[in-house]
Structure 1
Amino acid sequence: MSRINATIKPFDTHAYRDGKFIRVTDADVAGKWAVFFFYPADFTFVCPTELEDLADHYDMFQKLGVEIYSVSTDTHFAHKAWHDTSPAIGKIRYTMLGDPTGTITRNFDVMVEEEGLADRGTFVVDPQGRIQIVEITAGGVGRDAQELLRKIKAAQYVASHPGEVCPAKWKEGETTLSPSLDLIGKI
């Protein structure tokens, strides 16, 4: 079943952000663009490189009005311990959601049940709470924050320009397409 345009399901969890434990619910996400960035586990190998990459680009996400929520099946306590001990994770200013029950991970269909861990799943959610972008990679394949930013810019452009679409490799400011009978067979 496709997750595109599906509405995110309700959740309520503990999180770590800015040296504090907080509660985060689906209501906190409503009305803004958000990235749910699932990863298998704290204190691992590929995960800190991805989370650091997001941290290094966090200001760019913020300029686009996008909030980042990293999610693993670890607790918010484990997130704090990792944040306090890892130079890469210590850079993080975005919210790290704890999901020890796996509720959020299952809501997004990225739970590896036999391991109790999340797949590497990236979900971009629009202000109406609908999923606009889904990317799931194998455990050993890291993701790229710059490519994610490019995709978000395209999703935001399409959302604010009905009738236009962004072609492959589209970058902000480049030409878009307006699907019509005139374009069929001409691209």
Structure 2
Amino acid sequence: MDIAATMRRLTGPLAGRIEMMIGRAVIAAIADAPQAQAMQIELLADEVHDGVERFQGYGFTSHPHPGAEAIVVFPGGTRSHGIVIQVEDRRYRLKNIAPGEVALFDDLDQIVHLKRDGIHIESLNKVTIEAPDIEVIADSVVIDSPDIGLGGASGAKVARVGDDVDLGTGKIISGSDVVRAE
């Protein structure tokens, strides 16, 4: 009796299941409405799985584009119930960040980058902060803008330190053209 052949025969099914436990996939479609994001993924040739749950880290979520790549785990090695555990989209990945740095980014080049020398936020779109109170504690604050509205989009001009003001009328004689308050 050939012991090696017997061992291959006995362990063969187990080895096959182990080999099928982890796979690479391409995302074909995403359903973002369910409690857990559900994906249609393409694995091996002609192997398509629908409704595969995606596990995301607590407090973080994203909606990747079709064509992004994924790592899929199949508990027990059976391909009937996969779980997407990681998604990568090399088309949009922020590149060349320094060791130790972290960034959040999207496909529109909007970035929150924790850099070695500070935090950098970048967007070509409007940035909105909604909160009942905002507190800024800093040694210095610089606002570089050609148009500053305090309390609204329009209003009376506000004098800055150093502006010439008629103390009798309160009218700004020279200085601020960019700061207004309602």
Q: What interval of TM-score do these two structures reach, taking the shorter chain for normalisation?
A: under 0.3
Higher relative contact order (CA 8 A, sep 6+): 1
Between structures 1 and 2, the one with greater helix share: 1
- When normalised by structure 1's length, the TM-score is 0.20
- When normalised by structure 2's length, the TM-score is 0.21
